[in-house]
Amino acid sequence: MSSLLRTPAVQELYLRDSWFYRILPSVKHKPFTAVPSGNLTENWNEVEPDPNQLRWLPFTIPKSTEKKVDFVAGLHTVCGAGDAKSRNGIGIHMYTCNTSMVDRCFNNSDGDFLIVPQQGEILITTEFGKMMVEPNEICVIQQGMRFSVDVFGETRGYILEVYGAHFELPDLGPIGANGLANPRDFLCPVAWYEDRKVATGYTVINKYQGKLFACQQDFSPFNVVAWHGNYTPYKYNLKNFMVINCVAFDHADPSIFTVLTAKSTRPGVAIADFVIFPPRWGVADHTFRPPYYHRNCMSEFMGLIHGHYEAKEEGFQPGGASLHSMMTPHGPDAECFEKNSTAELKPERVAEGTMAFMFESSFSMAVTKWGLQTCQRLDKSYYQCWEPLRSHFNPNWKPSKP
């Protein structure tokens, strides 16, 4: 595997490009033809909208003894909104696979992939070089970059796709120069190449306007001997996130946990944010410390890499997911509420051994037929986690005298 370099690709840049020195140009290929897209889709009208709180059990990984499934064949769209043609929107996908891509690669002409491995490391070969990405790391493959994925067993993860914008670091505002995800911790590949002929044909799969197309060529596309530029794939280890939290009372906005954002044309509004809930100290006084009950103008898709999410320690499992749509109420389950309403407010570690994350979007997302029906992982009892909530209101209560 190649070594990695620090990258400026996550910083706000007015010009993003890279220059390849390659053995043969990528234009040397047979014509593209349409191929089946499987469960990868941009059809947001397959089923009727569902405003309910939704939760999925861990998505099933196919057994290699039953069927060989590589990264592309294992892509499944859960939800999304917008349109790749108009360059405005998002898609959220799961990948579940068990075998490496052989003599085939993938590129996304529609947008960027932010990949979050959950089970199993993945070795990504790109035109820029190689990256090994493990659970608790993320990587971004930007629009148009060709890549192939090697896996080492049953593998699962999440993908956030954005059309029409690139991921970048959030504006830090009064935080200042340092904090959250620091640019120095993002890594990109060093050039690696193979000068390899493929007599039986090398397949290039292209996601274009929401559909898949394939073409044939007789050589490996990973023939870039050297490159320079700032438009690159990159990876980031979530353990390097510098957490900021409340140190007095009340809650800060969850935007303090933003790793990367894809901005919209409206100031302060994101097409999508990638937010994490890492291990940290909880010290707030006179405060209900878990996330509060709320409705908001964003759609929140959550996943769990490992551990137990503090607001729902039961039911929300690694490799599963939840979706709380725009203006749909949500918050801690009844057990979490009762436990934290009576807990002694002393400094404590929160989310130790856990990494939950959120894909948050200003779009009102539609769930696909695969997400609601075909995958058969929808937890239809999810609403019951709030059923035991009871009133604690006492009109005669008065605060104790100091």
Contact predicate 275/261, CB 8 Å: no
Rounded-to-integer distance, Cα 364 and Cα 373, Å: 20
- The secondary structure of the chain in percent helix, strand, coil, rounded to multiples of 5, reads 10, 40, 50
Q: Residue 284: what residue type?
A: A
Contact predicate 133/238, CB 8 Å: no
User: Strands (DSSP E) along 29-86, which ranges?
Assistant: 33-35, 54-56, 75-83
Rounded-to-integer distance, Cα 270 and Cα 165, Å: 10
Residue 371 φ then ψ, to 5°: -65, -40
Q: Is 193 annotated as a binding residue?
A: no
Burial label for 386, CB within 10 Å (0-12, 13-18, 19+), is middle
Q: For residue 29, indicate whether it is catalytic.
A: no
For residue 301, what are the contacts with CB-CB under 8 A and spacing of at least 6?
78, 79, 92, 321, 322, 323, 358, 359, 360, 361, 365
Query: Minimal CA–CA distance to 125: which of 104, 94, 97?
Result: 104
Q: Is 149 helix (H, G, I), strand (E, B) or coil?
A: strand
Q: Is 300 annotated as a binding residue?
A: yes
Catalytic residue (one of 76, 93, 166, 251): 251
Query: Minimal CA–CA distance to 276: which of 188, 166, 171, 170?
Result: 170
Rounded-to-integer distance, Cα 30 and Cα 215, Å: 6
Q: DSSP letter string over 89-104? A: EEEEEEEEESS---SE
Q: Is 202 annotated as a binding residue?
A: no
Q: Is 294 annotated as a binding residue?
A: yes
Binding residues for homogentisate: 309, 330
Binding residues: 294, 300, 309, 330
Catalytic residues, which ones?
251
Binding residues for Fe cation: 294, 300, 330
